């Protein structure tokens, strides 16, 4: 069962990661996608948009998704990525 406290924590984490990617130069859509990748896995993620693709390609860490790279090391799914 998902508790309200857990939902709030996940939303806060999603917002924190989104902000980090936004500061790295990604648009809001792609920043949100990257946050989803960190939290829930990269495999089913849409590709970054054309404007962000070059920025994403310059990020330091590989992910399981070919089109995506990450600001921080990522396991590719689960809830234990460093955020
Ligand atoms: Zn974008």
Q: What is the pLDDT of residues 37-47, one digit of tens each?
A: 999 999 999 99
Q: How many domains does the chain have?
A: 1
Q: What is the pTM of this model?
A: 0.85
- Cα 7 to chain centroid distance, Å, stands at 17
The rounded Å distance from CA 48 to ligand 1 centre is 5
Query: Residues with beta carbon < 5 A to ion ligand 1?
Result: 27, 30, 49, 52
Is 16 within a domain? Answer: yes
Instruction: Tell how far the Cα of 57 is from the centroid of ligand 1, in angstroms.
Output: 12
Per the structure, the complete domain to which residue 47 belongs is given by 4-70
Summarize pLDDT for 16-55 with one digit per residue, the tens: 999 999 999 999 999 999 999 999 999 999 999 999 999 9
The Å distance, Cα 44 to ligand 1 centre, comes to 17
Backbone φ, ψ for residue 70 (5° rounding): -125, 155
Question: Tokens 């709030």 appear where?
Answer: 8
* Beta bridge partner(s), residue 61: 70
In a domain, 80, yes or no: no
Q: Give the pLDDT confidence score for residue 68 in this predicted structure.
A: 97
Read off the pLDDT of each residue in 64-69 and give the average, rounded to a whole number: 96
């Amino acid at each position: 069962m998902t508790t309200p406290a857990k939902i709030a924590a996940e939303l806060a984490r999603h917002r924190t990661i989104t902000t980090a990617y936004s500061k790295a130069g990604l648009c809001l859509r792609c920043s949100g996608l990257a946050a989803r990748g960190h939290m829930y896995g990269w495999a089913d993620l849409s590709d970054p948009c054309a404007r962000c693709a070059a920025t994403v390609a310059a990020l330091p860490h590989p992910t399981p998704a070919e089109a995506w790279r990450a600001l921080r090391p990522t396991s590719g799914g689960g809830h234990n990525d460093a955020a």
